[in-house]
Amino acid sequence: MSTATRVIIIVVFVSAVLAAQSNTGNMSSLERQQAIEKAVLKTYEQMNRAEINLDADKFFSYILDFDKGLIIQDGRLFKTRQEAYEIVKEGFEGVSHLKRVYEQTYVTVISPETALLTARGTSTVTLSDGRELSGPFAASLVYVLRDGQWKVLHGHYSIPNQR
Look up the CATH number of the domain holding residue 153: 3.10.450.50
How far apart (Å, rounded) are the C-alpha atoms in residues 69 and 84?
Answer: 10
pLDDT digits (tens, 9 = 90+) for 48-66: 999 999 999 999 999 998 7
Question: How many domains are there within the chain?
Answer: 1
Residue 51 falls inside a structural domain? yes
Q: What's the pTM value of the predicted model, to 2 decimals?
A: 0.78
Residue 129 falls inside a structural domain? yes
The predicted structure's pLDDT at residue 1: 59
List the domain range (segments joined by +) for residue 45: 3-158
The predicted structure's pLDDT at residue 16: 44
What stretches of the chain show up as alpha helix (H) in DSSP?
Answer: 3-23, 25-52, 56-60, 81-93
List of the chain residues with pLDDT < 70: 1-27, 69, 162-163
Residue 77 falls inside a structural domain? yes
Residue 163 falls inside a structural domain? no
Are 51 and 59 within 8 A, CB to CB? yes
